[in-house]
Amino acid sequence: MAKMIHGHEVLQMMIDSQGTFNRETLEAAIIGRFGEDARFFTCSAEGMTAAQLIDFLDAKGKFESRDEGFNTTPDRICDH
């Protein structure tokens, strides 16, 4: 059975890194931290792969563009 991880944990991982990502490096970081078999859920979706979660978070405006790529900020994480 796959581990289910909330998308907030991924956003917090991004903040804690204090770095920037592109889609490929973020997917690698997610898999490195949570495992290849992990699946992700949010308030409105579940069962997502790392790549699907990245697409979902991007569509929801959770990423902040930076010169070298993107990251996120605490104000982009809902608190429920």
Percent of residues, the chain, with pLDDT higher than 70: 98
Start-to-end Cα distance in the chain = 26
Query: Looking at the 3D structure of the chain, how many domains does it have?
Result: 1
pLDDT tens digits for range 2-52: 789 999 999 999 999 999 999 999 999 999 999 999 999 998 999 999 999
Q: Is residue 18 in a domain?
A: yes
CA–CA distance, 71 with 39 (Å, rounded to integer): 21
CA–CA distance, 41 with 57 (Å, rounded to integer): 11
Residue 1: its pLDDT value, please? Answer: 64
Q: Is residue 76 in a domain?
A: no
The structure's pTM equals: 0.91
Say if residue 66's pLDDT is above 90: no
The strand pairing partners of 4, in sequence order, are 39
Residue 37: its pLDDT value, please? Answer: 95
Q: Residues for the chain: how many in total?
A: 80
List the domain range (segments joined by +) for residue 64. Answer: 4-70
